[in-house]
Structures are given as C-alpha cells and as structure tokens.
Chain A
Amino acid sequence: QKEVEQDPGPLSVPEGAIVSLNCTYSNSAFQYFMWYRQYSRKGPELLMYTYSSGNKEDGRFTAQVDKSSKYISLFIRDSQPSDSATYLCAMSAGQAGTALIFGKGTTLSVSS
C-alpha cells in the first residue's frame, strides 16, 4: 500500500459545480496536510495548509482533515474554468527537514 493514495481522475465538472477531491493515507504520524495546485509544466502552488484534524476555509476552498479515518478532502465551491489543473495532496510527519509525501494528483477540468 502506498503511503498516500489519490484518484488521478480525470474529473470533469461544469462551471459553478462543487468539486470534492480526496486523499487517503496510511502513516498515522502525518500531522501536516497540504493541497497544491499544479498547472501543466509548472511548479506546484500551495493552496491550503492544515495542521492535524479539522476544517480550514479560504475563499472558495475548504480543506478537511479526518485523522481518525486517515482521510483528507479539498472542496472547491462555484468552480471556475481557471480552476482546471492538477490538484496534489501532500503530507508530512513534521520532523525538521522532512520532505512532503505527495499523492499522484487529480486532474480537474471545469467547462464553461
């Protein structure tokens, strides 16, 4: 079993839809959870950053972490064509200098 599992999609939705992206993980030591957005042939851009369990909201984006289920989600409300990208979940146990473990990424396409 991989440390981080993420459905690669592709996921296609109409403009204005609510999008739900998810990742599961196996390492219970993970404490820091992030969502990155990556456009084709560009570096990932940090979208959301969450420590431990709970919800975090930023504009149209909401990140949820359920450590008991080892499951994290990213919700996008009122999706826009500009949201079309690959979304990568990433997580870390948090020791100093520890790199992130990434999911494979979910490709999202929002049609106008």
Chain B
Amino acid sequence: GAVVSQHPSWVICKSGTSVKIECRSLDFQATTMFWYRQFPKQSLMLMATSNEGSKATYEQGVEKDKFLINHASLTLSTLTVTSAHPEDSSFYICSARAGNRVDEKLFFGSGTQLSVL
C-alpha cells in the first residue's frame, strides 16, 4: 500500500521554541494532506487541510498563526508549531490521499509525539 513518512517520531522541546514536523508521501503524489492531533485515549481531531501550492484550511478553533502549514510540493507537507507551550504537547499525525478521486483511500504517517517542557 501507499506509504506516508512522518518525522520526527518524537520530539522534546523547551517552552517558547518552534518545532517542525515533516510529512512525505513516498510512492505517490498527494495533492491534499491532512494534519490531525490526538490526545491520550481520544480520537483524531482534524487540525487543518493542506493543499499543494495554496494556503491551508484550518478547522475552527485551530490557530493558524501558531500551527503553520506549508505544502510546498506534491510529496511534502510540514507543520510548524510556533512558540510551543506545554498545552501543545500531543500526538500529531499527518495523512495523505493517494490521488484526487473522492474514493481514494487515506494513509497515515506514523505520528509525532511532541512534549513541551
């Protein structure tokens, strides 16, 4: 099946610093990528939809200036958590659709555990 690579798998940072998470589709081109956030024992909550070459669409309540998303190519999207604070500690997961058809399956990266001290 399609492979989505996400790294780093975990990161610890000090409060106030910025952290960048990369999401790559390895064997397909992804026009659209999605970024999710997951708290322990909770479901995946969509943060934003990332479209190649255009601005990301953020879900209600997600600060676009804090969670910067760049989708510079058809195989790479990045999420930057700016000025991270302990409440930003969470598991972040990206996903990508292998194609433009509405019935194309969605594949996930392995996730990034962010811990802000």
Contact = CB atoms under 8 A, between A and B. Distances in A.
Interface of A: 6, 8, 32, 34, 36, 41-46, 49, 51, 88, 90, 94-105, 107
Contact of A42 (B46, B106, B110): B110
Contacts of A105: 41, 43
Nearest to A86: B41
Contact of B43 (A34, A97, A104): A104
A43 B2 CA distance: 14
Contacts of A103: 43
A55 B34 CA distance: 28
B51 A97 contact: yes
A85 to B, nearest CB: 13
Using C-beta atoms within 8 Å of the partner chain, give the interface range for chain B.
20 to 34
Given A43-B111, A99-B49, 12 more contacts: A6-B43, A43-B109, A43-B110, A44-B108, A46-B1, A46-B108, A49-B105, A88-B44, A95-B102, A99-B46, A101-B46, A105-B43
B44 A44 contact: yes
A32 B103 contact: yes
A46 B43 contact: no
B28 interface: no
Tell me the interface secondary structure of chain B in the complex: strand
Nearest to B107: A46
Nearest to A6: B43
Contact of B42 (A44, A49, A96, A104): A104
B77 interface: no
A29 to B, nearest CB: 12
A36 B107 CA distance: 10
Contacts of B105: 34, 46, 49
Interface in B91-117: 91, 93, 95, 97, 100-103, 105-111, 113
A98 B32 CA distance: 9
